[in-house]
Amino acid sequence: MCRFQRYFSQRAALLGVALLIPLLLGSPTTAAAFGLTGMDAKVGIVDPEGVDGTLAVGAGLNFQQAGSHVHLMPNAMFWSENGLSDVNTNFDASYHFEPSGRVSPYLGAGLGMHFYSSDGPGDPGTDIGPNFFGGITLPMSGATLYFEGRAAMTDRSEFGLLTGATFYLGR
C-alpha cells in the first residue's frame, strides 16, 4: 500500500470511529445511559490562522444523561475563505454549571478532525486537534439559545465566536 493510500485509510478509520461513538451512546442499554436529547444549529465568525476572518456554519446532536450536567455533542462545522475551506467533524463534551432549563455558563473540550480543501495555501490536507470552548445558554420555549467562544488547536489554529440554538426532542 502506498503512503497516500495508508494516510487516507488511517483518516477514514478515525472518522469511522468518531461517527460510531455517538451511535453507540445514542442507543441506551440502561436508564443511566446517554440519550439523544436535541439537535443544534450554529453560525458565527471564525479567524483561522493564515486566513482572514470568515463566516462559519455548523450543526450537531446533543446527548445527555437524565439529571446530568454533562452533554456529549458530535457536530460538524464549515468555513471557506480565500480559496481555503474546512469541513471539521468534532466530538465535544461540555459541563453546564446549572441544571437544564436555567441560564447557565458552560465549559467544554473535544477532539476535531479538519478536512481542508486541497486548493488552499500550502496544500494543508487533513489535521486533528483539540477544541476548547465556553459560553452561556439561555433557555427559551422549545429551544435553548447559546453564545460561545471556541478555539481549535491544530496546525492551522482558529478562534471563533458563535451563536446557535439547541432544539430539544420531546419537549
Q: Which domain holds residue 8?
A: 3-168
User: What is the per-residue pLDDT across 107-157, written as a single tens digit (0 to 9) for each?
Assistant: 999 999 999 886 655 556 888 999 999 999 999 988 999 999 999 998 888
C-alpha cell recorded at residue 43:
453560525
State the pTM of this model. Answer: 0.77
Name the range with the highest mean pLDDT among 3-7, 68-72, 75-79, 167-171: 75-79
* CATH at residue 100: 2.40.160.20
**What is the pLDDT confidence band of residue 49, given thresholds at 50, 70 and 90?**
confident
Please state, in angstroms and rounded to a whole number, the distance separating the CA atoms of residues 157 and 115.
13
Query: For the chain, how many structural domains are there in total?
Result: 1
Please state, in angstroms and rounded to a whole number, the distance separating the CA atoms of residues 126 and 120.
12
Whether 2 has a pLDDT exceeding 50, the answer reads: no
Torsion of Cα atoms, 38 then 162 then 133 then 139, to 10°:
-40
